[in-house]
Amino acid sequence: MDLENALEKAGYLRDALAAEVENARGERQLLRRLDASGLFARAAQRAEFVAEVARIERDLALSLSRAAGTLGLTEVTLEKLRALAPRQGEALSRILSDVRALAGALQEVDRLNLQLAGRALACVRGYVEALQPTPRAYDRRGARAGATRTLSMVSAKG
């Protein structure tokens, strides 16, 4: 029964990752449109996903620990589970293989999104610079451009 529960939890994990991969792919459109509110909402959604995955992983670990106790194992490995419960062990192995593949796909999508975000940031910086150019020779106070202004204190107490 605990192994069936572990299979169920692993399935939840796989489904959550699959949904997040699709959501992360949709993030590209938000970046292309420079949709700030959409990106902030997406960041909040990712935080919820991370919390949910952590909860599922804890539940999965607990289920596997209970299954190991029921099967008389001191250590849980897929090989040992397949030896003692071939059907459930093989199913768990397949699901966890899917989880690894989806985690890799999510990592790749995140890497691409990060590159796209970097390009978007460069575009926005260029736009802001075009709207507020820095002076090349002198600023409006007559100081040389690029020179840092320093304040000095003069003591009247000689």
pLDDT tens for each residue of 95-129: 999 999 999 999 999 999 999 999 988 888 888 88
Instruction: Specify if 65 maps to a domain.
Output: yes
Instruction: Specify if 142 maps to a domain.
Output: no
User: For residues 93 and 95, what is the distance between their CA atoms, to the nearest angstrom?
Assistant: 6
Instruction: Specify if 9 maps to a domain.
Output: yes
Instruction: Specify if 139 maps to a domain.
Output: no
Q: Which tokens belong to 90? A: 């093989």
pLDDT tens for each residue of 33-64: 989 999 999 999 999 999 999 999 999 999 99
Question: Phi and psi for 130 in degrees, rounded to 5?
Answer: -70, -35
